[in-house]
Amino acid sequence: MWTTIALALTVLFIIFYKAALRPPCFPPGPFALPIVGSIFSILPSPKESFSRFQKKYGPICSYKVFDNWSIIVNDPALMKPLLADPVFSGRKHLYLFSLRDEVISGEKMPLGILGTSGDVWKNQRRFTLRSLKDLGFGRNSIEPIMQKELEDLINTFSQTEGQKVDVGLTFNSSIINVIWAMVIGKRFSHEDVRLLELVDKVNKMLQSFNPFHPAYRFPIIKKFFPNLDVYKSQDTYMRQLLSFIEDETAQYEKELLADESSFSYIRAYLKEMKEAETEGKETPLNMHHLKANIFELFLAGSETTASTLWWAVYLLASNPDVQKTIQKELDEVIGEDKLPTLAHMDSLPYTTAAIYEVQRVADLVPFAVPHETTEDATVSGYRIPKGTTVMFNLSHGLKDPKYWKYPDRFYPEHFLTEEGKPYKPENFMPFGSGKRVCLGESLARLELFLFFATLVHRFSWKLSDDPIVWEKSIVLSRPPRFMVEISNRNSNAVF
């Protein structure tokens, strides 16, 4: 009997030893168990766990999620050159992307920008950036579209005086409309049920996705248990969203493509694709990629910007002194009968600093989107094999006391020089950096400025005494739920 026990213990020891054994010359990190890896050290709150790992293991560490070794880079000085390095710019094909790609094309081939690597990524990203730039992305021609959305928002908020309001997803419809205007050249009315359903689906899909869930990590489980809730909910939202995009694209092809004066991303994409077909030229553009790209512009572009504005209202309402200082600057520079325009961007240093500070405190995308190495590499003497998942801890550069005087406060002065000019320190990277830097950064900056400055100039925001409720979220840092009292100011101001 003792021999059997000894044998069993030896086998167990080997299993545990092998599971915990890091690849040669790999960064340090938490212990890994057989099958689950370090998952119990990471969940339930990956953000807090990664911050703990950073304190314990330093600028670069590693962990194992089930069978997959990953590294996490914490030090912004180390991060910058890696983010600029093509070897660190590959992407893992996450469950959400492979599900989307299968629904679109019936195949597993990676589509779009967010979840692709190599030439597919380069071609789709390059075309999308170029055509969105031509459409005014990052320039002032997008301004009237944003102003139209703001007029609707002002109308909504000005009627709520004396009530308690949950701003929640209010900004999502406006932000989706800005993207939709560029993608397809039209907007929805804020009462349109299709817009409200769209907002709801994008939100639910992102909030319910947990990349650490074993069901997403091992999609093989789906073969045997396709009806598990984790699959069913994502499948349903994904199919509904894609069918919306398909219907709108088909409608567009029928109605607007013939109209030479119409102007949109879809038009530019279809035009270039069809011209190449007519000339018999090879083109990386096709309908599958187009649908995937539109899906990503929605997903990556709406929830991020809208949640930042939601955070902004929370931070303004809970910091009345800061709010008053911003309003004073806006009143002095813009005047009480005008609303801010993009032309004011360079003359509002405190407001600009306050927007950066909202992004710092919100820490919206704490670990970017997982990257993957495309070749073997060496970092700080560690060997990182090809195919390793790489997380970039953007959060560390936004929150560590080493970089900020009051890391836990809302303190716009963090972003002002002694002369009162706005500046951005190197460790401030809310949009990432390098090759994979956020494709929508310039649009997001314009949106954040115009929405934030207009809403603070036109209204005062006061936190009500109802309880503030923090909800758990894994992919994006969600603001708390709170009630706010909105009062009108500068009521006659116009753009």
Q: Which stretches of the chain bind ligand HEM, using CB under 6 A?
A: 113-114, 125, 179, 296-297, 300-301, 304-305, 308, 364-365, 368-369, 430-432, 436, 438-440, 443-444
313-319 long-range contacts (CB < 8 A, ≥24 apart) are: 313/167, 313/455, 313/461, 313/484, 314/463, 314/479, 314/480, 314/482, 314/484, 315/357, 315/358, 315/361, 315/410, 316/456, 316/461, 317/461, 317/462, 317/463, 317/482, 317/484, 318/410, 318/463, 319/410
Go through 336-363 and write b for each residue having 16 or more CB atoms within 10 A of its CB, e for each that does not: eebbbbbebbeebbbbbbbbbbbbbbbb
Q: How many CB atoms lie within 10 A of CB 282?
A: 6
Minimum distance of ligand HEM from residue 175's CB (angstroms): 8
Minimum distance of ligand HEM from residue 427's CB (angstroms): 14
CA proximity to 183, closest of 131, 230, 232: 131
Alpha-carbon span 440 to 430, nearest angstrom: 12
Nearer residue to ligand HEM within complex by CB, 113 or 354: 113
Nearer residue to ligand HEM within complex by CB, 101 or 296: 296
Say if residue 61 carries a ligand binding annotation.
Answer: no
Of all residues in the shown chain, the one whose CB is closest to ligand HEM is 440
Residues in contact with 322: Cβ distance below 8 Å, sequence separation at least 6, in sequence order: 315, 316, 354, 410, 411, 412
Which residues are registered as beta bridge partners of 387?
A: none
Minimum distance of ligand HEM from residue 365's CB (angstroms): 4
Minimum distance of ligand HEM from residue 106's CB (angstroms): 23
Nearer residue to ligand HEM within complex by CB, 382 or 431: 431
Minimum distance of ligand HEM from residue 306's CB (angstroms): 9
Nearer residue to ligand HEM within complex by CB, 185 or 430: 430
Minimum distance of ligand HEM from residue 13's CB (angstroms): 39
Nearer residue to ligand HEM within complex by CB, 114 or 322: 114
Residue 131, classed as helix, strand or coil, is helix
With 0-12 / 13-18 / 19 or more C-beta atoms within 10 angstroms meaning exposed / middle / buried, residue 483 is middle
Nearer residue to ligand HEM within complex by CB, 125 or 399: 125
Minimum distance of ligand HEM from residue 292's CB (angstroms): 10
Q: How many CB atoms lie within 10 A of CB 370?
A: 17
Q: Are 214 and 66 in contact (CB under 8 A)?
A: yes
Residue 65, classed as helix, strand or coil, is strand
Alpha-carbon span 142 to 301, nearest angstrom: 15
Alpha-carbon span 243 to 68, nearest angstrom: 33
Minimum distance of ligand HEM from residue 329's CB (angstroms): 22
Alpha-carbon span 411 to 99, nearest angstrom: 42
Nearer residue to ligand HEM within complex by CB, 53 or 449: 449
Minimum distance of ligand HEM from residue 216's CB (angstroms): 18
Nearer residue to ligand HEM within complex by CB, 149 or 296: 296
Nearer residue to ligand HEM within complex by CB, 116 or 490: 116
Alpha-carbon span 450 to 467, nearest angstrom: 30
Binding residue ranges = 438
Binding residue ranges for heme = 438
